Amino acid sequence: MAKKQEVKNMAIRVRFAPSPTGPLHIGGSRTALFNYLFAKKNKGKFVLRVEDTDKERSEQRWTDEILEELKWLGIEWDEGPDIGGNFGPYKQTQRLDIYKKYLEKLFDEEKAYYCFCLEEDLEAKRQDQMSRGLAPKYDGKCRNLSKQEVQKKMAAGEQSVIRFKIPDKKVKFADLIRGEIEFDAGLLGDIVVAKNLETPLYHFAVVVDDFEMKISHIIRGEEHLSNTSRQILIQQALEFYHPVYAHLPLMLNMDKSKMSKRQGDVALKDYHLQGYLPEALVNFMVLLGWNPGTEKEIFTLQQLTKEFSIDKVQKAGAVFNIQRLDFINGFYIREKAIEKLTEFCRPYLKEAGLLVQGQVSDSKLEKIVEVSRTRMKKLSDIVELADFFFKDKLVYDKDLLKWSTMQDAGVKEALLLCDKLLSDLKEWDIKEIEKVLMGGTGELNKQRGYPEKNRGFLLWPLRVALSGKQFSPSPFEIADILGREKTQKRIADAIKLFA
């Protein structure tokens, strides 16, 4: 009871502890976000810790990318490897002396031991246990070796690991999201906590770090739920307090399977590079498991820091619906100031080889982005939506020029009329362009016997001639941006298709 009281009276401190063995997973990004929001809502501290004890797979470039992507999202930490803090260092490879001290404590109190069992023997025993319907666990072969036997094996150069003695007991804890949870520790078997005194493994290092950094609440994904009993037992063995746990629901694919790297883009940077905005991703991710209790769907990060509550996080898995993300991202794209949106779109056009320096003025580029933004779901869409503005010659099927029941002769006549109407324009202005063309729809319909109010017989062929696409902005907007010369050249090119 005293230890529970100790946690209750602690300052709120949470942590996000990624492993730099690859890019930041979208699920990890959500975990970081929930920790950040919980800390902000409760006037606590958000700690960023790098768990890089896997020396073979950890790389500095992944650490750098993780930090960069979190900053891009707008998530800021109060302590971390780049800014320091009172409980550092914040990279596990810089904390090996701390872990060694606590490993030695376990040995001194006979709560850990060296295990010399070969991996192939352990695997054979696991297979045998499963074949008999038993839970696979270590059988404790090395648990009671004498000090003399251990020293002899060590001197002979036998490979070993350090195992923690798991007591045969029930482990109970209260989860803020899932309520009361109980595990039978007797099913676990003694677990490996270190390769040696200088090389701790995950379960041990994370327990020591959380204690040393005074972490009060551990908010993490549901996939870590089974780890909690092991970590609580290590906490008890080392006489540490127990942090409060909250396990977030799994993120699921549309078919309700768990999201994995084998099933498409799952790295935060993938979405960044595709042109999803950070505010859209934050908004989308928080709704994967959290329900505000209202119909509201659009939240800024600042609003979330006020409205977020761990009590409203659901237990059931959260489906990653890309259509919903596209909707939210499209909303934020339409809300952007055109100058800023154009700045965001420019790199995609350059990478596609469409935007050559000096070819298009800033004002014209802003017009191109403006007429394209309503159909943009992500920034990279600008390439497909607006490529025709930058091309000298368009390639498309001439049948695309036909509207409804039109035949070749009707299309040619419509384009010739457009050319005539636009040639007579004294001022090349979108309002004048629209006025003269709208007037021309009645003239064409009357000559051809088309329905009186159907404007498609004139405007559809023109729009396709100018864009080469089935879907595009209006012909008035396109002509205004292209200018007189380019507009009339594209009309002439379309007419030639019917020569």
pLDDT at 1: 35
Mean pLDDT, the chain, whole residue set: 94
**Residues 385-390, mean pLDDT to the nearest whole number:** 97
Pairing between β-strand 170-175 and β-strand 191-196 as defined by DSSP bridges: unpaired
Separation of alpha carbons 153 and 48, rounded Å = 40
Q: How does strand 179-184 pair with strand 251-252?
A: unpaired
Cα 394 to Cα 45, 383, 468, 470, 490, distances in angstroms: 57, 15, 6, 13, 8
Give the catalytic positions in this structure: 261
Confidence of residue 261 (pLDDT cuts 50, 70, 90): low
Q: Count H helices, E strands: the chain?
A: 20, 12
Nearest CA to 330 out of 378, 267, 366, 294 is that of 378
Output the pLDDT for position 453: 83
Q: What is the pLDDT of residue 4?
A: 47
The verdict on pTM exceeding 0.75 is yes
Hey, what are 76's tokens? 């800021």
Which helix or strand (DSSP H or E) is residue 47 part of? strand 45-48
The distance from CA 242 to its chain's CA centroid, rounded to whole angstroms, is: 30
Distance CA 463, CA 433 (A): 13
At residue 231, the pLDDT reads 97
pLDDT attached to residue 5: 44
pLDDT the model gives residue 255: 85
Q: What is the mean pLDDT of residues 8-30?
A: 94
Q: What distance in Å separates the CA atoms of residue 106 and residue 238, rounded to the nearest whole number?
A: 7
Does the pLDDT value for residue 115 go beyond 90?
yes
Q: How far apart are CA 398 and CA 175, in angstroms?
A: 64
The answer to whether residue 258 scores a pLDDT higher than 50 is: yes
Cis peptide before 89 (omega within 30 of 0): yes
Q: What is the mean pLDDT of residues 286-294?
A: 93
pLDDT at 465: 98
What pLDDT does 260 receive?
Answer: 65
- 37: closest CA among 46, 50, 28, 25? 46
User: CA-CA distance, 118 to 160, in Å (whole number)?
Assistant: 9
pLDDT higher than 60, residue 93: yes
- Cα(37)–Cα(31) distance, rounded to whole angstroms? 10
Eight-state DSSP code of residue 377: S
> Around 488, how many Cα atoms within 13 Å sit in the side-chain half-sphere?
13
> Is the pLDDT confidence value at 52 over 70?
yes
